[in-house]
Amino acid sequence: MNGTIIRIISNLYSVEAEGKVYECRARGKFYHDKLTPLVGDKVVIDADNNYIMELKERKNSLPRPNIANVDMALIISSVKEPNLDLNLLDKLLSIVIYNDIKPVICFTKIDLLDSKDKKELDKIINYYNGIGITTLTNQELKKLTKVMNDNTVVLAGQSGAGKSTLLNLLDETLNLETKPISKALGRGVHTTRHVELFKYKGALIADTPGFSALDLDMLSPEELRDTFLEFDLDCEFRDCMHKEEINCMVKEYVKEGKILNSRYQNYLKFGRWNIC
């Protein structure tokens, strides 16, 4: 029987197949073949004996959180408590774009902003939308539902950004645990302890303990450059890295305000230019 792993706790794999959830063990051959089943894996199970018999080919996978076959990453970014972190946002964007996953940004806690800060946020939202990255707020639940339709979606973002709260808003029957921001630490407290897929209308949504694999060292300088979608411009040199090269259109666009300065500065910070 074909199914999808929707939850893993210890060595027990919850597999949804034909409208029913089976609690399965993995065959010993996976250990010997150094294969580790992940949430999101498409599998073949022996429903009578509750064993996973086969792992189907993955289209992608992420190491932390451990999840496979992701269509979309919904990046949850708080604008207050904790404050907006564009460095983390751009790092997450580079990671998911590099892994061929469609990014969608959702800003939360808009109600905590004053009118001046809201105008600044509107500029940021318009910018990311303008470079082809769908950007919404948690006050646009209908639009968010439409964007996620029929996709396997992983949530990403800093602790306390409101990932579990957003899921509860989308589907109140989930009743996921949430906690307030730690005043002492100035950041959120983890409430999600394992990766699990939830059905929401036509989508499968993964609530995760969060992205901890935020190291971009696996990307070459060229691969990093290509995750910044708006940098695909007609520079004088085809292999332009947008650093010291002359007649660089990216640097010109930054000066003219056509490329967000924070994006360019984050690109420079992320790069391993010492190996170029």
Domains, in order of start, for the chain: 2-57 (2.40.50.140), 62-207 (3.40.50.300), 221-275 (1.10.40.50)
Which among 73, 69, 40, 93 is positioned nearest to 147, based on CA atoms? Answer: 73
Tokens of 50: 């509750």
For residue 65, say if its preceding peptide bond is cis, omega within 30 degrees of 0: yes
At position 206, the amino acid (one-letter code) is: A
Q: Describe the crossing of helices 163-170 and 141-148 by its angle, rounded to 10 degrees.
A: 90
Ranges 114-128, 189-203, 254-268: which has the least confidence? 189-203
pLDDT digit string (tens) for 2-47?
A: 999 999 998 899 999 999 999 999 998 888 888 899 999 999 999 9
**pLDDT at res. 176:** 60
Half-sphere exposure of 82 (CA within 13 A, CB side): 20
Q: What is the pLDDT of residue 216?
A: 87
CA distances to 20, 131, 158, 215, 275 from 271, rounded to whole Å, are: 47, 21, 22, 11, 10
pLDDT band at 186 (very low <50, low <70, confident <90, very high): very low
Does pLDDT of 202 surpass 90? Answer: no
Spatial CB neighbours of 241, under 8 Å, sequence gap ≥ 6: 221, 222, 225, 271, 273, 276
Strands 20-26 and 2-9: unpaired
